[in-house]
Structure 1
């Protein structure tokens, strides 16, 4: 049976889980290395660290965009094999990407997702776009009480904050502010 993995791949933390799970796991999107013991802590291993005073932090993101693919692959390898325990060949992926992501970065995402990991399918979208398609009934009660024709989503992360207005569930691109 095909599984669907949801990955909100943030610059500081990633929220990741299977679609049927109630809550995602929140995992640091970082590799730490101790200056004295030289031990590496990758993603969920950060919880094992007892002394944060002399660590070197390595993030795969710069200014909100994924730039260090080698580092991110190391983190994803750890998360997919040990934290989530999935086989990409039997899994579809829904993942977030930054608003206004660069085409070269999008191509690199696709190459790594399909050629290196072998996911069956991938849907890349932005976090605000996923929010607008959330179940309004769950959030606000009876959907007749709230009109989803207009909405503003504020997406505040590690690297930036975006304010995204929506009309009829479509973003108004010219009005998006960073």
Structure 2
């Protein structure tokens, strides 16, 4: 049986692996990075080995959800594929590759050209991430009626955007897809501005701050109560994050209560002895930023964006589908994407969505076990199924029919 490589090409990260090993995808930044004072760049998977992540100058092949630097994208994939395939030629393998929602025909053609001509695969299948995620969800919950019909709404909280994608019979409904122009990148940029104004200048630390955001941020279940608590002297949300030194600590870490007490005791003892002050570690202090940053996704108007919030976007997407599908769609709302790993995300969306859904409709909101790799795992299922040979485009078909060969993938 032909081996098939599955690549989920995200704006922030690449998920890559063989369909024969569905539990072991590689996850690495979809970028190249240049360190201060260095002339050469570190590309893709090699960025995982960096010891000093401070002040990195990043170059990403994906801009606003679409690949714009194909040469860099090919280089990132080619380097990791060499390690994945070993001595096996790509010409003996197929490829499942994700594409952007509402992808442009020219970009789809460029992706196929990269896969078949430049990377050398024997065949390729392009798919949006949402139906792949639903496929994995159906594999995990086969008893759900909506999953048996290939029906649901996938909330894809990605790096560039957040999409609500209604699906029926395993196919997205293009006219019903709704997008919020906020994703993980915009939330990181928002956090950069807020903490740089209130604490330490982090405007050049996007890569580091993305990691800090994932460590500290959560979605509030009661915003007004949490804001009142954050204003008190003993705020339960106040946290000090020790920044990395680039030598012994790559990413830094949140300072624990024990560390704070030990530092306070040591400082008091030194003051009593009139000794020299302890050297201070650079510390980023955060408080209500921990929940106000992801809050922008639920209320974009808070940061000046004239857009619907996440729950409203899901309701609009369902309303744009055929009325006979509404009950099935609301019964199977699946949350995926790296931004969805934020604690409290599912509960908040379910609570806000319940107020918008008719009382006689059952509402089911599900969070994938690992939202960031859900689409990849669905792609691995598709690659291992009998559907792959039927849907994939071979090099011969592409050479003979050109873009007409892509018709089997839908719009």
Does TM, scored on the shorter chain, surpass 0.5?
yes
Runs of at least 5 residues in structure 1 that lack an aligned partner in the other structure: none
Whole-angstrom CA distance in 2 between matches of 1:20 and 1:34:
36
- Cα separation, partners in 2 of 1:47 and 1:170, compared to 1, 3 Å: closer
Aligned to 1:126: 128
Q: CA deviation at 1:146?
A: 3.1
What does 1:6-85 correspond to in 2, within 5 Å? 6-21=6-21, 22-83=23-84, 85=86
Whole-angstrom CA distance in 1 between matches of 2:168 and 2:110:
31
Whole-angstrom CA distance in 2 between matches of 1:3 and 1:151:
30
Partner-residue secondary structure (3-state), 1:166: strand
| Contact residue 31 and residue 41 of structure 1 kept, 8 A | yes
Aligned to 2:112: 110
Q: Identify the range of structure 1 (161-170 vs 27-36) with the bigger mean alpha-carbon deviation.
A: 161-170
Aligned to 1:147: 146
Q: 2:99 aligns with which of 97, 104, 111?
A: 97
- Cα separation, partners in 2 of 1:30 and 1:84, compared to 1, 3 Å: farther
Q: CA deviation at 1:77?
A: 1.7
Partner-residue secondary structure (3-state), 1:94: strand
Q: CA deviation at 1:169?
A: 2.5
When normalised by structure 2's length, the TM-score is 0.41
Q: CA deviation at 1:84?
A: 5.0
Whole-angstrom CA distance in 1 between matches of 2:58 and 2:31:
7
Pair member with larger Rg: 2
The one of the two structures with greater contact order (alpha-carbon pairs below 8 A, sep at least 6) is 2
Whole-angstrom CA distance in 1 between matches of 2:168 and 2:82:
40
| Contact residue 102 and residue 174 of structure 2 kept, 8 A | no
Q: CA deviation at 1:122?
A: 0.2
- Cα separation, partners in 2 of 1:177 and 1:8, compared to 1, 3 Å: same
Partner-residue secondary structure (3-state), 2:39: coil
Aligned residues: 175
Whole-angstrom CA distance in 2 between matches of 1:82 and 1:93:
16
Whole-angstrom CA distance in 2 between matches of 1:28 and 1:83:
16
- Superimposed CA distance per residue, residues 61-107 of structure 1 (whole angstroms, 9 cap, x where no aligned partner): 11000000111121112111135535211110001001111111111
Whole-angstrom CA distance in 1 between matches of 2:103 and 2:170:
20
| Contact residue 5 and residue 19 of structure 2 kept, 8 A | yes
When normalised by structure 1's length, the TM-score is 0.90
Whole-angstrom CA distance in 2 between matches of 1:6 and 1:52:
28
Bigger fraction of residues in helix: 2
Bigger fraction of residues in strand: 1
Whole-angstrom CA distance in 1 between matches of 2:130 and 2:57:
32
Cα RMSD (Å): 1.7
| Contact residue 9 and residue 95 of structure 1 kept, 8 A | yes
